[in-house]
Amino acid sequence: MQTKGRSRHFIYTDWILIETQFDPEQLHSKETVFTIGNGYLGTRGSFEEGYPHTLPATFINGVYDDVPVVYTELVNCPDWLPLIVIVNGDRFRLDQGEILSYDRQLDLRQGLLTRTLRWRSPNGNTIDISFERFASLADPHVLALRCHLTPIDFEGLIEVQASINGYPENQGLNHWEELDQGKTNQGIWLQRRTRNSRIELGMAVKMTILGTEASLQVNTAPGYPTLSTTFFAKAQQTVTVEKLVTVFTSREIEAPVPAAQEKLAHLPDYATLLKANEQAWNEVWQQSDILIEGDSTATFAVRYNLFQLLIAAPRDDERVSIPAKTLSGFGYRGHIFWDTEIFMQPLFLFTQPAIARNLLSYRWHTLPGARRKAVHYGYRGAMFAWESADTGDEVTPRWAIGSDFYGEDVRIWCRDREIHINADIPYAVWNYWQATGDDDWMQKCGAEIILDAALFWGSRAEFNSERDWYEIQGVIGADEYHELVHNNAFTNRMAQWHLEKAIAVYDWLADKFPEQASELEQKLKLTPEERSHWQDIIAKILFFYDPSTGLIEQFEGFFQLEDINLADYEPRDRSMQPILGIDKTNKSQVLKQPDVLMLLYLMRESADFPYNEKALQTNWDYYAPRTDITYGSSLGPAVQAILASDLGKSTVAYEQFMRALMVDLEDNRGNTNDGIHGASAGGIWQAVIFGFGGIQLTENGPVANPHLPPGWTRLKFKLHWRGKWHDFDLHEELGTNEQGSRGAGEQGSGGEVGVSFSPLPLSSSVTERLALSEVERSRSAAPLPLVPDAPSPMPNIQGFIFDLDGVLTDTAELHYLAWQKLADEEGIPFNWEANEALRGVSRRASLMLIIGDRPYSEAQIEEMMERKNRYYVELIQNMTPQDLLPGAIALLDELRQADIKIGIGSASKNARPVLQRLGIVDKVDAIADGYSVQEPKPAPDLFLYAAKQLGIEPGQSVVVEDAAAGVEAALAAGMWAVGLGPVERVGAAHIVLPSLQGIKWADLREQLSNISRQKH
């Protein structure tokens, strides 16, 4: 798999992904990244107006169709997006005319995708165009799109066409038969049916024009019904177009077209639908959100990965699951793998258990397909498909067709040999039962899954009478680089574990639900002899394990394979298999993902054999260096992050976590165009909760033993366990992580379930926290002197730490405008004089100063902070390098030439995007921003954090500030302080300057030396 580094033109805020520039080379991967959905369907982020070679797609969960003989795939449904805008005869599209400004945003809080452009047509007419769309989470059958059109420098005719494209393709193949289409009083409709699976679809559309007088026309061209309007547009006058869409299929209702028409006729307006969607998302995020402080990239990217799973998860349908590429792309043809149960399901299990139950119920409904596969291969019971679709029958393609027309096709053996999925699914069923206590579902569905799949192992394990053990030969483990192995450690131990749990479930069912047990015995032909056979396999299955060291051999003969040093092949831009070739890879100790480490992870929670700390360390040391972690399996990095965290390898843990976290946002494997890496997204949740949060499940509920990465100051989330909610708010202080867990369901009783304290291994992050605590104690012990002492007799300056606002740039006006807009909306008096009091103050502290003693709830305060930030982020999009203050660039360049390190110490959570807009990110060595520490200025924490990131001592640091609170923070940190502005504001600094204009490093160094000599 090939990839190349390239800028993604992204800015991340707490909740919003912002694309600042359109890059046609990234068209397909960005279509994936900007996917929206609601669990019923997903729509890729294609442009409403179209673009050459685009890959628009809307996938409805469960709508599969066959390509005869070749494969089954999730069907690309009719496209509801088309909205054509024609300006004085010129059709708006990004490959024509001139893009004067461009901004695309995905707001995770409400699943809202917006795009704002200023476009100049080939004929010279300039127009502002903005699109926004969402798939309603409040009503899965409703889709909505809105477009604002504002002519800038012309008057003339604008035509708008809103259509349904009834000719969608799955990369060259149209799965739909034309049935009918037409118009109603409300708009237009389309009826289609899949060619082989005979699933009928009905879609209806209406369009509303606001801001001008306009009439609608209907064009019912075959397969492309269209509503259109033409109006005379005036300069600076905004016209709004709203397109509402309803969709049903025969999977959920007998007559989809009348259902779509009926719903469309009774829909409220766009704004009402958007509000309902926002409320539905609020409820979901209340359960599933993860708050991280101290790492701005992780703050957004974790939420982004959760969002992509949430929009693919079936809420009202237990006959579907989540495809490996979610509902976002054509990769793997929409098939279901073990990815869902092992990687994605835990997020839902502990935050939205009803969805977790749906995912597992899909496996129960598809048991007939698994039984058919077992019969085909000559085994008993249920043999789950490696790739599954609607029926549970095997849909893994038998051959992979290469790009070389004369080359040989490659046989795909996973369908025949990768059988560990038969234990992976029961593993997820067991964990669901343990976490929820859902006995009703277990006796109706779960027990049958576990017992029927166990029958397969009873017939698949082979008894070696000479050696008196059982073997499982001819398999592929989770490490798919080795395609025919015997006694794979992962497969054998998971089969053994499965049989252990099958006996336990058998006994439980017979005791608690004897009638159900009797029915299953007859249905599955379960006998006492079969149970004895399972016990015999459990006792005698082969597993290569050295008890003296804990080292596990991945499969029989693995240690005899050729050892490959992966470092010899660096740098590279693809996986090891195409470099070595399939045959040599099979004969080498190079891994796509390490079976043994994956096994240890799955046994980790219950501490089942072979998991223990010694075994983990031994096997990590052996298998991690042999793993193709960069271009092998995308499933590996998140799991390795958890295990590295267990081992105290914080740097490695965070590195692997980030590799998984950014796999789609940065397209670091070069295949995001195929769809979201769903398993990696699920692994991210597990890495945060089980790895960094250190969550362990006990009979009394979940407890935390955190290992927060360096820089993370707070980790907050909630978990649902056996009917109760448990809130966790983890902080790292004084080398100790504190966690509290509260059962939200126990109102009135306090509900305290457990509080534990666990020391961290001594690391740089802990040392940093200790240093901060010592400064805090000294700061509280004595007041600051009126005249600051110099930090050292002779200054050895190694670094400069610059505040951002008022020092390198002036965003005070932008902050003022954002606060002013918020204050006006809330009816609070606010002016420029009041804004001056906010200089250098954190967002929360600023808001508290503005609202004074007005009564607001914490939720309202959080919402207002987010709203102000949203306004501010919108404003900073117009910033350029021209907004740098005079003298800033000259001083930065001079300091870099003198090998002085440069850091940013800004209370703003938007420091990074501002630096990007200013074009000076490459001139900065470290950034300490509003995410980095808990205590804002005048506490010294922010500057101490920046110095730590720069690798210098406080006394070697110069802080440049324009606010009194910032100067006070610098002095409290024991740093040199340069104040910019009037003496009455920054007079406590060692040096006071009007601005940076004309300032030279040599002059500053001389002044600091003079001050030092005078003091000493």
- Active-site positions read 480
Query: Strand, coil or helix: what is 525?
Result: coil
233-237 contacts at long range (C-beta below 8 A, 24 or more positions apart) = 233/149, 233/151, 233/154, 233/155, 233/156, 233/157, 233/158, 234/151, 234/155, 235/151, 235/152, 235/153, 235/154, 235/155, 236/150, 236/151, 236/152, 237/150, 237/151, 237/211, 237/212
- Which structure tokens are listed for 394? 């095997």
CB atoms inside a 10 Å sphere around CB 241: 24
The residue assigned the tokens 């700390």 is 613
Please state, in angstroms and rounded to a whole number, the distance separating the CA atoms of residues 372 and 383. 8
Please state, in angstroms and rounded to a whole number, the distance separating the CA atoms of residues 59 and 956. 58
Please state, in angstroms and rounded to a whole number, the distance separating the CA atoms of residues 57 and 673. 12
700 sits in which H/E element: none
> Among 275, 233, 240, which Cα is nearest to 147's?
240
Q: Residue 199 in contact with residue 250, Cβ under 8 Å?
A: yes
Please state, in angstroms and rounded to a whole number, the distance separating the CA atoms of residues 597 and 594. 5
Please state, in angstroms and rounded to a whole number, the distance separating the CA atoms of residues 121 and 156. 13
> Phi and psi at residue 546, in whole multiples of 5°?
-100, 105
Q: Residue 467 in contact with residue 392, Cβ under 8 Å?
A: no
The residue assigned the tokens 């059958």 is 141
Diameter over CA atoms, the chain: 96
> Among 692, 700, 687, which Cα is nearest to 741's?
700
Q: Residue 608 in contact with residue 601, Cβ under 8 Å?
A: no
**R_g of the chain computed on alpha carbons:** 31
Separation in Å, CA 959 to CA 12, 973, 991, 1016: 27, 10, 10, 21
Tell me, rounded to whole angstroms, the distance of Cα 583 from its chain centroid: 36
> Among 621, 597, 627, which Cα is nearest to 611's?
597
Q: Residue 325 in contact with residue 681, Cβ under 8 Å?
A: no
The DSSP secondary-structure symbol of 571 reads: S
Separation in Å, CA 910 to CA 37, 130, 367, 847: 28, 24, 51, 16
Name beta bridge partners: 114. 105, 132
Separation in Å, CA 82 to CA 181, 263, 759, 779: 17, 21, 57, 62
Q: Residue 566 in contact with residue 630, Cβ under 8 Å?
A: no
Alpha carbon dihedral 904, 908, 909, 912, in 10-degree steps, equals -40
